[in-house]
Amino acid sequence: MGFYYENGELVADGVKVRDIVEEVGTPVYIYSKKHFVEQFKRFSGAFKREHLVCFAVKANSNLAVINTFAKLGAGADIVSKGELFRALKAGIEPKKIVFSGVAKTEGEIEYALSNGIFMFNVESKDELYTINSVAKRVEKRVEKRAPISFRINPDVDPKTHPYISTGLKKNKFGVPYNEALELYLEAEKLDGVEIVGVQFHIGSQLLDTTPIYDASLRIAELIRELEKRGVSVSVVDVGGGVGIVYNEEEDKEPSLDEYARQVESAFEGFDVKLVFEPGRFLVGNGGILVSRVVYHKTNVNKKFMIVDAGMNDLLRPSLYNAYHKIEPVVKKGREKVVCDIVGPICETGDFFARDYEIEDVENGECIAVFSAGAYGFTMASNYNSRPKPAEVLVEDGSFRVVRKRETLDDLIRGETL
């Protein structure tokens, strides 16, 4: 992990967090490039057969972060035109980009085709025909058919938070398993598309990867049925979902070696390239959100620690009731208090932790919210007309601002009276 304590001070890869805050201010996201690189190498190195790791841009869309993975040879899993734009700007090769998402528009599809992406993960029959139509319209310009895989919903319960479960038949994602065969046969007849592979993604933050293995076995059966009908695929996209440790007392990181062997064994004997779409696993524990304590407050017996970051900066606790470890940036060995750690947003749901035991940090001092490298800044908003925080990347014992803090003028850019 890129963050650790030395003599009571929180350090990010050799740089004191307090020094970063003194120069950049709060709230601020701080990322460890070393952590990102090590996680990518661990993940990719676990597999023995040919594969491509596509970083899930939705987890952390900062250009410097994406570029870190581009330099390691990664591709990108994107779900919008904007994410495709970011991936290209950050140096991801178009032929390593997969386009997921349930609502791709004609404009997005044309933009992706024009840039020569690896493949579309098709999520409905309607989308299939839209991609086919757009591809035929622009075929002279792009000189190729649209490469597709179908995202299959294997109806496997990932046993994770319901908001991030995506592989059940009640979820909006993917095509039903029992309809997939006919859709592939239908796609074979279309002039504008070329069948490349099959894709599935059953959910996020899985600490037990067995459900991914179960889903892999179902997908392997589908591939066998396709082969019997003369439909071949050269790619199997396993999606993402491998979880991280948020709570050290309760969570246990999945075994990458076990995960790799499970997936590889499920597709043993198939001449296919494996594609993976990790996001949280690569960046989650490589980022912290640092916030300054503004006030303390007691309502009857309830204590509050009020900080200058809010749910607009880090939404996960409010949205999912998600746990994040929170510690002082500088530990002084003071008594601990049990309190709600809350922000300035005018919502009762604006909190980072409830009834949380923490050293009694004084007004003006800083706390760090850990495991904030994934789905942190990327989900931030300007709610309550609050400028978004800065982002900082620590690398080789120094740091640089990779996204400036927004100004008041940024808040109204594009608006008119």
- Supply the residues annotated as catalytic: 346
Cα separation, 369 vs 236, in Å, equals: 36
CB 18 within 8 A of CB 332: no
Q: Determine, yes or no, domain membership for 182.
A: yes
261 and 346 together in one domain: no
Cα separation, 130 vs 21, in Å, equals: 49
* Cα angle for residues 306, 307, 309 (degrees, 5° grid): 135
CB 343 within 8 A of CB 350: yes
According to the model, what pLDDT value does residue 170 have? 55
Cα separation, 386 vs 62, in Å, equals: 19
Cα separation, 51 vs 323, in Å, equals: 33
According to the model, what pLDDT value does residue 168 have? 47
The residues near 225 (Cβ < 8 Å, ≥ 6 apart) are 181
CB 109 within 8 A of CB 120: yes
Q: Determine, yes or no, domain membership for 308.
A: yes
264 and 374 together in one domain: no
380 and 305 together in one domain: yes
Identify whether 27 is preceded by a cis peptide bond (ω within 30 of 0): yes
Q: Of the residues 228, 256, 276, which one is the last residue of a structural domain?
A: 276
Q: Determine, yes or no, domain membership for 70.
A: no
According to the model, what pLDDT value does residue 300 have? 87
289 and 270 together in one domain: no
118 and 257 together in one domain: yes
Q: Determine, yes or no, domain membership for 60.
A: no
Report the CATH number at residue 355.
2.40.37.10
Cα separation, 284 vs 26, in Å, equals: 20
Q: Of the residues 228, 246, 276, which one is the last residue of a structural domain?
A: 276
Q: Determine, yes or no, domain membership for 417.
A: no
State the residue range of the domain holding 394. 3-30+284-411
- Splitting the chain (417 residues) into consecutive groups of 10 residues, what average pLDDT does each group show? 92 97 98 98 97 98 98 98 98 98 96 97 96 93 92 74 45 83 96 97 91 93 96 97 94 95 96 97 98 96 96 96 97 96 97 97 98 98 98 97 98 97
288 and 347 together in one domain: yes
338 and 396 together in one domain: yes
272 and 310 together in one domain: no
The residues near 255 (Cβ < 8 Å, ≥ 6 apart) are 209
Report how many domains make up the chain: 2
Q: Determine, yes or no, domain membership for 47.
A: no
Nearest to 19 by CA among 280, 397, 285: 397
Q: Of the residues 258, 276, 294, which one is the last residue of a structural domain?
A: 276
Report the CATH number at residue 135.
3.20.20.10
265 and 306 together in one domain: no
Per-position b or e across 343-356, b if 16+ CB within 10 A of its CB? bbbeeeebbbbeeb
